[in-house]
Each structure stands twice: as structure tokens, then as C-alpha cells.
Amino acid sequence: MMTRLFGAVFGGAQAGNVKMVSPADVRQWIDAGQAVVIDVREVNEHAAERIKGAINLPLSTFEVSQLPAIPEGGKLVFHCRSGQRCGMAAAKAVGAGYSGEINRMEGGIMAWRGMGYPVE
């Protein structure tokens, strides 16, 4: 049962229009002005450190209707602390019928910091 639930939440979010991407990909998209980065960590986590420009939409209160409009050529990127909660947010977006491309940053902000990328 737990395996099926885990697969439905995490594995299902990998299907279709959800892609796992590296922090290097996200940094490149940010530098090119293409990324709309959504931080699904809680408010206190986001306040402690964040990727510059990331929008905080905590998973605990996340609704797909809160997502900002993604400009033409833009890339929606979910991130969290280690990569798990962003999978849940992606699954929720897919389940609610979000049809645009969804990117999950592998390893979350921990991987971002591990690459030496800046946080605020």
C-alpha cells in the first residue's frame, strides 16, 4: 500500500509533462530570465534562505490557482529543501489539470547550495 502511495505521489509526478532537472539547468534558466521558481517550503524555511526571485507557495497551503502566469518560453520550476515536497506539488498541479511543462529541481535547495550557487 505504502509503495503504491509513494509511487502515485512521486512516480506519477514524473510522468507526462513533469521533468526532473538539475540545479545547473535551473541556474541557466534564471540567468536567461526564463525561470519562474516556486519554493514550496514553509514560510520560515523560505525566510531563512531562498533562491533569489523564488516565489514562496508552501506545500501545506498550495493551490494550483496560486501559480503565477508563465510567460511564453518561460519554465515553471518547483523546488523545496531536498526534492521531495516539490514532487508532491508537481503531482498536485498535474492532478488539478495544469497542462504546462513542470520542472522539479533535483535535490532542492540543498543541492543548489552544494553547487555553490547563491542564496539570499
| pLDDT, tens digit (0-9, with 9 covering 90-100), for 51-81 | 999 999 999 999 999 999 998 889 999 999 9
Domain boundaries along the sequence of the chain:
2-114
Looking at the domain 2-114, which fold is it? Oxidized Rhodanese; domain 1 (3.40.250)
Which pLDDT score, from 0 to 100, does residue 92 have?
94
Statement: residue 19 has pLDDT above 80: yes
What gap in Å lies between CA 35 and CA 74, rounded to an integer? 6
Which pLDDT score, from 0 to 100, does residue 36 have?
97
Which pLDDT score, from 0 to 100, does residue 17 have?
83
Residue 9 CB neighbour total at 10 angstroms: 16
Asked if 37 and 30 count as a contact pair (C-beta separation under 8 A), the reply is yes
Residue 16 — very low, low, confident or very high, per pLDDT cuts 50/70/90? low
Statement: residue 43 has pLDDT above 80: yes
Which pLDDT score, from 0 to 100, does residue 14 have?
46
Segment 80-100 shows an average pLDDT of 93
52-83: b (≥16 Cβ within 10 Å) or e: eebeebbbeebeeeebeebeeebbbbbbbbeb
- Grouping H, G, I as helix, E, B as strand and the rest as coil, residue 5 is helix
Asked if 17 and 102 count as a contact pair (C-beta separation under 8 A), the reply is yes
